[in-house]
């Protein structure tokens, strides 16, 4: 089972929920930080890292002595990352999505694969919880290609699990995904493979507005969704009215309390900060499992 922890905006407590859930999850789990632009799940989980690799993306390199300026590559590229300008073929590596189409289509074989560094993928574990994250290189704009490679690494980690899972005594690992905030391409990319989406929000006008956007964006995926209200007690009741109107289950409320803010400020996993919080997250874990098991539960058809 893959659980995506998402939010319409940053700062709602998405990573707080991801780390706390991973800490109470009662079966083998991989905590995966797909918020590759600003990964910070490791700051809470504090895993021991055991491996890393540089993520590269294939980009075209032109051999001007072979290129006949036919323009076929330029016509093909939707991103204008390779462009025929008069009698000059120019490449813009930072705009390339690495599809390889131009290299494949070039009739003169004038394009060869070069590479651009996207960032780094690291993995490790904290006790029984395995950990995986991607970190985008500073200045790199393209997070989905790196996210794809983080998912490939997850597949390798799961492969190990599934090989083991052929033995009846081993349970395949669940995955808790700390997704990027917002509703743009990286957020969609992060939640698209999940079995259940948990939207983390707060009862403020900004929280309500951005959660509506996230709910609308993710609804067409037809996945079970539920809501965690962070800083409950702050703001007004609009978030509850929206969830009620849309048949969205509120799976947990994290109270707006000084003790929680202090734990957060000290990098303490919230579910480990008190028995009360542990109980809240144990209940949340149970509700997520029920929701994942009840296909389409809480999903409202698109209006
Ligand atoms: S398709 Fe090949 S030959 Fe044609 S412009 Fe592009 S690189 Fe040059
Ligand atoms: S690899 Fe794809 S995205 Fe990159 S320049 Fe070629 S066609 Fe464009």
Around ligand 2, the residues with Cβ closer than 6 Å are 59-60, 76-77, 79, 81-82, 96-102
Q: Tell which atom from ligand 1 comes closest to the C-alpha of 84.
A: 5
Q: At what angle do helices 238-245 and 205-218 cross, to 10 degrees?
A: 20
CB 78 within 8 A of CB 156: no
Residue nearest to atom 8 of ligand 2 (CA): 77
Spatial separation of the C-alpha atoms in residues 127 and 288, rounded to whole Å:
23
Chain centroid to Cα 37, Å, comes to 10
Q: Cα-flanking dihedrals φ and ψ of residue 196, to 5°?
A: -150, 145
Q: Cα-flanking dihedrals φ and ψ of residue 43, to 5°?
A: -65, -30
Q: Which long-range contacts link 254-260 to residues 24+ away (Cβ below 8 Å)? A: 254/13, 254/16, 254/17, 254/228, 254/229, 254/230, 254/280, 255/231, 256/231, 256/232
Give the number of other Cβ atoms within 10 Å of residue 177's Cβ.
Answer: 27
Task: Provide the pLDDT for residue 219.
Answer: 94
Q: How many residues does the chain have?
A: 303
Task: Provide the pLDDT for residue 161.
Answer: 52
Q: Tell which atom from ligand 1 comes closest to the C-alpha of 71.
A: 5
Task: Provide the pLDDT for residue 170.
Answer: 52
> Is the CB–ligand 1 distance for residue 289 below 6 Å?
no
> Is the CB–ligand 1 distance for residue 70 below 6 Å?
yes
CB 145 within 8 A of CB 56: no
Spatial separation of the C-alpha atoms in residues 144 and 148, rounded to whole Å:
6
CB 28 within 8 A of CB 162: no
Domains of the chain: 2-55+119-293 (3.40.50.300), 57-117 (3.30.70.20)
What residues have CB less than 8 Å from 24, skipping those under 6 apart?
A: 271, 278, 281, 282, 285
**CA–centroid distance, residue 66 to ligand 1 (Å):** 8
pLDDT, mean of each 10-residue run, the chain (303 residues): 92 92 93 96 94 96 96 96 94 92 97 96 93 94 92 87 48 88 92 95 90 94 95 88 94 93 89 94 96 56 35
């Amino acid at each position: 089972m893959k659980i995506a922890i998402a939010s319409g905006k940053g700062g709602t407590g998405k990573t707080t929920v991801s780390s706390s859930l991973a800490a109470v999850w009662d079966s083998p789990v991989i905590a995966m930080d797909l918020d590759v632009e600003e990964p910070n799940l490791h700051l809470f989980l504090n895993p021991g890292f055991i491996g890393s690799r540089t993520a590269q993306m294939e980009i075209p390199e032109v051999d001007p002595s072979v290129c006949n300026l036919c323009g076929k590559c330029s016509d093909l590229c939707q991103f204008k990352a390779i462009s025929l300008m008069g009698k000059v073929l120019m490449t813009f590596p930072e705009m390339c999505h690495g599809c390889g189409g131009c290299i494949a289509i070039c009739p003169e074989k004038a394009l060869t694969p070069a590479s651009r560094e996207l960032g780094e993928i690291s993995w490790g574990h904290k006790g029984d919880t395995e950990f995986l994250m991607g970190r985008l290189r500073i200045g790199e704009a393209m997070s989905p290609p790196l996210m794809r490679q983080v998912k490939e690494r997850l597949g390798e980690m799961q492969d190990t699990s599934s090989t083991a899972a052929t033995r009846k005594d081993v349970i395949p690992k669940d995955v808790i995904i700390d997704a990027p905030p917002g509703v743009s391409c990286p957020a969609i990319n992060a939640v698209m493979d999940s079995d259940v989406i948990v939207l983390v929000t707060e009862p403020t006008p900004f929280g309500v507005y951005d959660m509506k956007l996230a709910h609308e964006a993710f609804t067409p995926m037809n996945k079970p969704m539920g809501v965690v209200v962070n800083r409950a007690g702050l703001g007004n009741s609009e978030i509850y009215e929206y969830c009620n109107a849309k048949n969205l289950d509120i799976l947990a409320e994290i109270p707006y309390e000084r003790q929680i803010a202090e734990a957060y400020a000290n990098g303490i996993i919230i579910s480990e900060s008190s028995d009360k919080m542990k109980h809240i997250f144990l209940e949340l874990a149970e509700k997520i499992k029920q929701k994942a098991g009840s296909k389409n539960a809480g999903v409202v058809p698109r209006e």
